[in-house]
């Protein structure tokens, strides 16, 4: 589990990339969970996951309480 920092702490427009560098396919059963800090959301949810082969997600902060996957 990876917890994103508070969107308010990092500020508006901040980008954060999380990349799974392990080669091979990561199944849903061993996916990396990326959770929002308390009071924040990630695309209106409390968390998201990384599964597949060497996947990544880029997150954008609104500077308040929201992270968006872009």
Task: Determine whether 32 is exposed, middle or buried from the number of CB atoms within 10 Å of its CB (0-12, 13-18, 19+).
Answer: middle
What pTM did the predictor assign? 0.91
pLDDT at 5: 98
Q: What is the pLDDT of residues 2-41, one digit of tens each?
A: 999 999 999 999 999 999 998 889 988 899 999 999 999 9
pLDDT at 23: 85
pLDDT at 13: 97
Long-range contacts of 27-30 (CB under 8 A, 24+ apart): 27/51
């Amino acid at each position: 589990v990876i917890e994103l920092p508070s969107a308010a702490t990092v500020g508006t427009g901040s980008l954060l990339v999380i990349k799974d560098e392990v080669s091979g396919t990561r199944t849903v059963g061993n996916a990396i969970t990326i959770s929002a800090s308390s009071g924040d959301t990630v695309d209106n949810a409390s968390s998201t996951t990384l599964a597949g082969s060497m996947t990544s997600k880029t997150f954008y902060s609104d500077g308040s309480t929201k992270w968006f996957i872009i």
